[in-house]
């Protein structure tokens, strides 16, 4: 689901350098918004959606509880959400649906109010997970996911 010649991200935030640049013209996508990247590479999301979420995450998930949530996301996303999304079964649809509604909720976009308890559950699970993993381990998890795919 990822191209093997991936050496930068097509979204404006480059997780390797930590810089936002709108001049990247690569034909690959190996960004740090791992679930959004998987959905984009699978054709479920547009590059604009991925770009918007990546820029939002860079601005909003840097410290405090938000940063802990982001650490947990980098553990739960690659290990739970993405494998089911790629299988395209009922659970995959559930995780894609969950991710869409939770990101709408978090980023302030219109969302279905009935999805809030589900979103809170996963946001809570990711935040709690983020308290038990280091930044280094969380980064190694999502970066390692791309290295395994390139082999």
Question: What span, in angstroms and rounded, lies between the C-alpha atoms of 5 and 53?
Answer: 23
pLDDT averaged over every residue in the chain: 79
- CB-based contacts of 41: which residues, under 8 Å, 6+ apart? 1, 2, 29
Burial class (CB in 10 A: 0-12, 13-18, 19+), 136: exposed
Q: pLDDT tens-digit profile of 85-135?
A: 989 899 999 999 999 999 999 999 999 899 999 999 999 999 999 999 998
Burial class (CB in 10 A: 0-12, 13-18, 19+), 4: exposed
Question: What span, in angstroms and rounded, lies between the C-alpha atoms of 74 and 18?
Answer: 16
Q: pLDDT tens-digit profile of 27-83?
A: 344 456 889 988 988 888 888 888 888 888 888 888 899 999 999 999 999 999 999
Q: pLDDT tens-digit profile of 134-146?
A: 989 988 888 777 6
Tokens representing 58? 């860079």
């Amino acid at each position: 689901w990822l191209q093997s010649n991936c050496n930068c991200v097509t979204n404006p935030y480059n997780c390797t350098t930590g810089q936002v640049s709108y001049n990247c013209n690569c034909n690959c996508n190996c960004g740090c918004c791992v679930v959004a990247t998987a959905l984009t590479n699978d054709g479920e999301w547009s590059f604009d959606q991925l770009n918007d979420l990546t820029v939002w995450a860079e601005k909003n998930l840097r410290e405090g509880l938000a940063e802990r949530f982001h650490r947990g996301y980098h553990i739960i996303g690659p290990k739970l959400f993405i494998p089911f999304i790629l299988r395209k079964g009922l659970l995959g649809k559930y995780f894609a649906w969950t991710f869409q509604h939770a990101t709408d909720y978090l980023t302030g976009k219109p969302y279905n109010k009935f999805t809030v308890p589900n979103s809170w559950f996963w946001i809570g699970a990711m935040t709690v997970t983020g308290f038990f993993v280091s930044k280094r381990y969380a980064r190694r998890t999502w970066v390692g996911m791309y290295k395994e795919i390139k082999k």
